[in-house]
Amino acid sequence: MTRQASLGITAFGAVIALCLLNVIRPCSASITVWYQEGQAPLHGTSTGTALSANYTGSAAYNPNTLDAPPPPGPAGLPTQFALQLSNTVPPGASIAQSGSFFGFSVEMSVVNQVCKSLLQVPFLNLMANIQQRAGRVVVRVGGNTQETAVLVDSTPDGRILEKDLSRISNPTQTPPLIFTPELLWMLRNISSLVNVRWHLGIPFNDTSNFRLGIAEQGQQILGDYLIGLQVGNEPDLYAAHGHRPMSYGPYDYFGEFGDLVEAMAGDEHVSNRGLLIGPNVNTGDWTPEMVWNTGFVDSYSSNLAYLAVEHYPTDNCFAQYGVGTPRDPQTIFPDFLNHTAGQMIIAPYLNSTAYAQTKGKPLLMFETNTASCGGFVGISDSFGAALWGLDYAMQMAYSNFSGALFHVGGQNVYYNPFTPPSTNQSTFRKWTIGPIYYSALVMAEAIGPSNNTQVIDLAANNNNVFSPAYAIYESGNLMRVLLFNYVTDSSGASNLSIDLTLSGGQNPRQVQVKYLQAPSVSQKGNFTWGGQTFGANFESDGRLSGTEDIQTVSCSVNGSGSTVCTISVPAPAAALVFLSSSALTETAGSESHTFPTTAETRTHNTVTVDPSLLATSNGHTGMGKRLGSTSVGSANAAETGALTRSSVGAMLAGALVGSMLVVGGTW
């Protein structure tokens, strides 16, 4: 293990050095790959701040906090303003969006670490929370390790995924992954319980000898739950990473993509040839336009399900690996705490979202988060990141992206939406839920399940960067408004008081408000959404706990007959305003549904988990509908139960440790 880990460090040093030859670009996500698997290599040394020098545990649980930036004062943040809202969709609103916009990206090499835990109740609950609000959850399993992965019938030690260390010929090489169809079965089994839709990646390291097994078996096993197949992960970095000759350019990618299309056409086991995703550039040496200008989209239109890019706004490579530009988290914290942050990330893609529309293709942000190389202590794991992630994702929706996948790493990164305990802790520790998961949850509730939601950035408060706001329309009607206050100020002087002025058919006598809240942007854990929380480190079973708190605000009719509802937004917080009771019930109804589960562990004790574990959070709808009957292709209750039990059997037989879910009984 140690040898493997230190080998990883060497490999990474080299990869990062290569990566940094392209100075202007933050290191790509590739850099995080190695470190996400081990528990150990760089703990405590990896943050780059004096603060954390004494902390020796995993990054994911690092307790060190930063100072919140000081309030900008009344000149920087006028605290009273009005938002005029009409019931009809204004010009400039987004394309139709779906509630599953905000999804997750799991590096393939890490899926082992995370996946040991995937069939655990907490993971399923986390996915179910989003499904209840949005109807489905999108998860991508892939990344750089997909490129050299090999689907095999079985592995020497019976695991479903492992690194083929015998095939590393030099220290800078990532060992290829080998995985068995059981990995795909595991994903399928998850989708039988919760409506998770998957993106996978086709290995692209050898384009004269494609390995199409993941496409063949992925389609066979996952059926409609497989929604996309990525072709080439960050091909604009291939040359810099030594995976292609230095001359490799957009036309070479175009040609290789064509080779793949041809190979798939000749493969009778590939049933759906229209699931491909490209070009997945990380805004390196290639702009997306350079790929569009090859005629890529027209040439492969019938094969392309999605267009995609990947991007991190900055990187923490120096602190993690000693290469690149040193960045002090305290100094750059304010860069994440205003409306410009998301807008700046998206600006280079606005032409591409417009272009994608002209071609009738959805454009995805396929992998993103606060910073590559693991994120920043105190930023990526703070309440500020929850506001940042929510605003950034809403800004992407407004800007006509069609989805965004936030990256999930191992215990050595700061930005995880959720982190399972390491397997030897899984009998006494629970999961840790990070800020980005709260962003995902609120976004799902803001957009809702209709698939017909349009959002617009209201340029609120004279476009003040600390108080952005979005209006949310469903099927043409104004349903919800999302308000932000990025400022931390315990004095109350920076609380916002916002007059929502409604005209044109919307005359509610009262509206309801849910807050995403913490005392400071620098706080870690214990954030609340509608008064409920996933707690601090190691405290969550994937369900919100506490009593749901939905505020009711009365509205008045002003002299000109407009309805005015005054919403207070504390500093800091986000507030989701539901303009009608149906706007609330559709994503947050009162029905509560539970079904029985027990969890067994490999260790001596058989733990029986609270039978309502895979439950809804307090009072949300959807589980009944989905789990009872309507999951596409899912078996009936008896079959599903049996399937899950045998899946656990298989995993236990594979000598995996940790809690495994057994769903028993009926629901």
* Binding-site ranges for ligand NAG (CB under 6 A): 39, 51, 53-54, 82, 84, 92, 94-95, 98, 135, 148, 150, 160, 176, 182, 185-186, 189, 205-206, 289, 292-293, 334-335, 338, 340-341, 344, 350-351, 353-355, 357, 398-400, 422, 424-425, 449-451, 465, 492, 495, 501, 523-526, 536, 558-560, 562, 570, 643, 646-647, 650-651
- Minimum CB distance to ligand NAG smaller for 265 or for 557: 557
- Minimum CB distance to ligand NAG smaller for 320 or for 522: 522
Residue 563 token pair: 């309805």
> Considering the complex, what minimum distance in angstroms separates the CB of residue 355 from ligand NAG?
5
> Considering the complex, what minimum distance in angstroms separates the CB of residue 456 from ligand NAG?
9
- Minimum CB distance to ligand NAG smaller for 268 or for 533: 533
Task: Give the C-alpha separation, 271 to 264, whole Å.
Answer: 9
> Considering the complex, what minimum distance in angstroms separates the CB of residue 68 from ligand NAG?
12
Q: Which residues contact 480 (CB under 8 A, 6 or more apart)?
A: 446, 448, 471, 472, 576, 577, 578, 579, 583
> Considering the complex, what minimum distance in angstroms separates the CB of residue 361 from ligand NAG?
13
Answer for the pair 330, 52: CB distance below 8 angstroms, yes or no: no
- Minimum CB distance to ligand NAG smaller for 233 or for 338: 338
- Minimum CB distance to ligand NAG smaller for 179 or for 268: 179
Residue 658 token pair: 């940790």
- Minimum CB distance to ligand NAG smaller for 22 or for 49: 49
> Considering the complex, what minimum distance in angstroms separates the CB of residue 320 from ligand NAG?
20
Q: What is the DSSP string of 76-129?
A: H---EEEEEEESSPPTTPPPPB-GGGEEEEEEHHHHHHHHTTTTSHHHHHHHHH
The burial class, CB within 10 Å (0-12 / 13-18 / 19+), for 9 is: middle
Q: What are phi and psi of 395, to 5 degrees?
A: -65, -35
Answer for the pair 482, 394: CB distance below 8 angstroms, yes or no: yes
> Considering the complex, what minimum distance in angstroms separates the CB of residue 20 from ligand NAG?
21
> Considering the complex, what minimum distance in angstroms separates the CB of residue 501 from ligand NAG?
4
Query: Tokens 């987004």, residue?
Result: 94
- Minimum CB distance to ligand NAG smaller for 325 or for 424: 424
The beta-strand segments (E) located in 226-321 are 226-231, 276-281, 304-310
Residue 219 token pair: 């389609």
Answer for the pair 126, 136: CB distance below 8 angstroms, yes or no: no
Angle between helices 435-447 and 383-398 (to 10 degrees): 40
> Considering the complex, what minimum distance in angstroms separates the CB of residue 19 from ligand NAG?
19
- Minimum CB distance to ligand NAG smaller for 268 or for 499: 499
> Considering the complex, what minimum distance in angstroms separates the CB of residue 107 from ligand NAG?
16
Determine how many CB atoms are found less than 10 A away from the CB of residue 425: 13
Angle between helices 581-588 and 121-134 (to 10 degrees): 150
First to last CA, the chain: 42
> Considering the complex, what minimum distance in angstroms separates the CB of residue 22 from ligand NAG?
21
- Minimum CB distance to ligand NAG smaller for 350 or for 655: 350
Answer for the pair 398, 447: CB distance below 8 angstroms, yes or no: no
- Minimum CB distance to ligand NAG smaller for 268 or for 380: 380
Task: Give the C-alpha separation, 281 to 237, whole Å.
Answer: 8
